Every structure is written in C-alpha cells, then in structure tokens.
Amino acid sequence: MKTTTVGVLSIVGLALSVTPLWAGPVGLQRSPSTEQQNAEVAQLEAIKDRQWREAMASPATVKGPLLVRYMDKQAQLQDLINRIRSSQQVSPYEIDQVLEPVNP
C-alpha cells in the first residue's frame, strides 16, 4: 500500500513539474500574415459595404437616430479595418461586437 502511494505521488509530482514545459512561450503574440490581414480587411470592407447598401435600400425608413446608428457602425468598421491594416492587435470580441447588426 505504501509503495503504491509513494509511486502515485511521484508520478503526480513529475507530471506537475513537467507541465509548464508543454505550455510554450507566455505573453508572445503572433502577428497574422499579410495574406490573412488582406483577407480580413476584404471581408470587413464587404460587410461594411453590404450594411450600407441595406441601410440605403429603404431611405424612407432609415433616417434620424437609425441613420446615426448605421453611420456609427460604419465608423466602427472603418476603425477596425484601419487597425488591422496597421498590424495592431484586434481582439475577437471587438470584431464580434462591431459585426452585430444595427437594431432599428
């Protein structure tokens, strides 16, 4: 019984001491490749253009505060595109937040 307990504790101790080696470098962020940046920018520009076309498809209903929300969404998308082009880090949460539809 004692040898089993000592053996199990030894294996657990070894596993706990080796685990940080598998973690890899901490705090280093990889930057996306140029092709990936270009693809992301093209996709965001297409979404931006599509949202604006949808807003302008019915100009009678898109006016006042709703038009301001569409314009704000366009500015947010353009800011995100500019940040990606300048190789700044953009979190997935920010992208998801900007891609949420404009609520009437």
81 belongs to a structural domain: yes
Give the separation between CA 64 and CA 74, rounded to whole angstroms.
Answer: 16
Flag whether pLDDT at 44 surpasses 70: yes
Does some domain include residue 2?
no
Question: What is the model's pLDDT at position 22?
Answer: 54
Any domain includes 66: yes
Number of domains within the chain: 1
Tell me the C-alpha distance between 101 and 11, whole Å. 52
Residue 15, in any domain of the structure: no
Domain range for 55: 33-104
Separation of alpha carbons 76 and 78, rounded Å: 5
- The pLDDT confidence band at residue 61, using thresholds 50, 70 and 90, is confident
pTM of the model: 0.60
For residue 10, is it within any domain? no
Is residue 68 one of the residues assigned to a domain?
yes
**pLDDT given at position 28:** 44
- In this structure, is residue 93 part of a structural domain? yes
Residue 9 covered by a domain: no
Strands (E), the chain: none
